Every structure is written in C-alpha cells, then in structure tokens.
Amino acid sequence: MMRQQKKPNLGRSPGVWLDDHLAQIFLIPALILIAGLIAYPAALTIYNSFTNLSMLTMKATKFVGFQNYATVLGGSEFWVSLRNSLVFTVGSISGQLILGMIGALALQRIPFGRTAFRVGLLVPWTFPSVAMTFVWDWMLDSGFGIINFALMGLGIIGEPIAWFGSRTWAMFSVIIMNIWFGAPFMMLALNAGLQTIPSDYYEVGKIEGANFFQRLRYIILPSLKKIVGVLLILRTIWVFNNYDFIFLTTGGGPAKATQTVSIMAYFTAWKRSAMGRGSAITILLLVFVAVMIALYFKFFKIDSEEA
C-alpha cells in the first residue's frame, strides 16, 4: 500500500481561514453582549438566591443552601401571589387577544383610512405606564371617578364601587386596565398576519358558501396559529413579569388581592432588604414562565415547519 502523502496546506492563508469562520467571528460581539446582559445577571441572581444577601449591608455573610427556596415555597404568600399572577396573566392576555382579533378583523374590512385607524388604535400602547396608571386611578376613584359617575348616572349601579379598594373588584380593574393597554399590540400584529393569508383561501370559502364564523374557524385561525403562538409567548413573558401597573395602582392590595410574584419579589428584596430571598422568588418565577413557554411551543408547534 502506498503511503499517502500529506497535502501541503498551501492554500490555507489567513484570508481563507477568515472566510471560513466569518459567521462565528461576527457572532462574538453578540455573544459577549448576551453573556454580559443576560447570563451574568442570571448567574448572579441564582448565586444570590443561595445566600443571605441583605440590602441593608449589601453583603452576604452566609451560604444558606436551599433555605430561601424552602422559606418561600413553605409560606402561603408565594402561592397566593402565584395564583394572582396566573389570574392577571390569563385574564389580561385572553382579553387582549379577543379584543385584538376583533380590532384586526374590523380593520381589514375598512376600505380607506386604515393607516389612520391603526395609528389611532395604537395610542394606548404608546402611553407611559406611569401616566396611564395615574389616569386610570382617577377614572376609577370611588369618590370622584368618572366611571362610577357614569355607571350611577345610567342606573347600572346604586352606589360607588371601590374599584381598586375592594377584594372583589381590584384584580378585575387591573386586568381591564392591562387589556386596554395591550390590545392594540395584539391588533396590529394580528392585522399584519391577516394580510399574509392568500385571497384564494377566502374565494374558495366563498364558493363553498362558508359564513363568517366558518371562515374564521377554517381559514383565519389556522393561518394565524403561529402568530398567535408567538404573541402569546411574548405577552405571557411581559404580563407575568409586569410590575408597574399593579404597584402604581393597588400596590398589591387590598390584603394581597392583587399581589403578583413580581410584586412579592420587589417587596422582599427591596422594601424588606432580603435580597437573597427575593432572588429565590425571581428564580422560581423564571422557572414557572419557562415551563409555560415550553407548553406554548409544544401546543402551537412554533418551531416546526408545519404551517
């Protein structure tokens, strides 16, 4: 057998090597950025969750193992907050999705001035949360809010309702506020999705004699499945982690009726200086959201090629 001679690597100049690895090289800045902005804080939070880090001294004096997790999971406050987070998220996102879908379908039927309507309907989304919560706070005030005034004027209610001040209404009120805020985003994204459905589908539906609900069931919703999936993922992350709407209106009250996991984490870490325990709460929150996102991926088959 002839000994195979090793090929001289004459053509492997630095230029060729650069060409071969250009994609990886271009990824380096992004990877460094991701490591700095996501991986490092996440790793630090995980580390802190196993210590007794106090915001009073800015020091951790002990490695406490899983004690913070045990304390959090062993108390009722976390489970109440988790239930509230779920109610707030499911209530807000379903409302936003339904309203967004209605808005998107309505927009599609408008023959002219569609852009103006789109811009107009997008206004709530552009509001800074502080300004928005301030306005809602005063509109829903039981003493002089316009909502009570209108409802009483119409004879719908007999006496003023403490929208943010009662256990019955507080969660409902913050959900309504969040639906008002988030529906335009859904509407815009769904409207863009509707533009991608080939007109042939509608024509076939028309020939087959499909009514509106049948078109919705068999043409529109299946075509929008992936967009809805992505929207649900994005909105779930945002709403589940939302902190400012509730903090600025009810502060998590009354009697924890609107206290979500994010609010609990803030109170624990910042107001009560227990950053170690606060970090454990945020890690639990992260795990819970990750599980929900994984379920969305599975249900909506977002990463598959199937349309």
Partner 1 sequence: MRRVLSLVLCLLLMMSIVSVGAMAEAKPESITFWMGYSQQSRVDAMEAIGQKYYEQTGVKVNFEVVTWPNTAEKWRAAYSAGQMPDIIICLPDQAVAMFVAGATIPVDDVIEAIGGTEKFLDSVLTEQFYDGSYMAVPHYAHDRLLIYRKDALEAAGQSVPTTPEEYLAVTKAINDPPSYAFQQLFNASDYGSAFMLDIFMRTFGAQYFDESYRIVFDSEETVKAVEFLIDMYEAGSQPDAMDFIINDQFTLLNTGATLMTLDSAFTIKSALDSAPEVAEKMDVALAPANYITTFPVCVCDGENAETAKDFVRFMFEEDNYVDFLASYQPGMNPTMKATAAADSAFWKLPVFENALALKASQTQAEGIEQGGYSIGNQFGANPFSGVLTSGYVEEMFQDIIVNNVPVVDAVKVCAERMQEAVDEQKDALGW
Going by C-alpha positions, the residue among 101, 125, 105 that lies closest to residue 114 is 105
Indicate the length of the chain as a whole number. Answer: 307
Q: Is-contact 130 181, C-beta < 8 A?
A: no
Nearer residue to partner 1 within complex by CB, 59 or 301 = 59
Under the binding rule (CB under 8 A), the answer on residue 171 touching partner 1 is no
Shortest approach of partner 1 to residue 137 CB, angstroms? Answer: 7
- 246 vs 76: CA distance, rounded Å: 20
3-state SS of 199-246?
Answer: HHHHHHHHHCCCCHHHHHHHHHHHHHHHHHHHHHHHHHHHHHHCCHHH
Under the binding rule (CB under 8 A), the answer on residue 267 touching partner 1 is yes
Under the binding rule (CB under 8 A), the answer on residue 141 touching partner 1 is yes
Shortest approach of partner 1 to residue 130 CB, angstroms? Answer: 11
Nearer residue to partner 1 within complex by CB, 93 or 161 = 161
N-terminal to C-terminal alpha carbon distance within the chain: 55
Shortest approach of partner 1 to residue 133 CB, angstroms? Answer: 10
State which of positions 224-253 bind partner 1 (CB under 8 A). 247-253
Under the binding rule (CB under 8 A), the answer on residue 136 touching partner 1 is no
Nearer residue to partner 1 within complex by CB, 85 or 191 = 85
Amino acid (1-letter code) at residue 181: F
Going by C-alpha positions, the residue among 186, 272, 200 that lies closest to residue 233 is 186
State which of positions 274-303 bind partner 1 (CB under 8 A). 274
State which of positions 61-120 bind partner 1 (CB under 8 A). 61
* Residues of the shown chain interacting with partner 1 in the complex, contacts defined by CB under 8 A: 52, 54-59, 61, 137, 141-144, 160, 162, 164-167, 170, 247-257, 267, 270-274
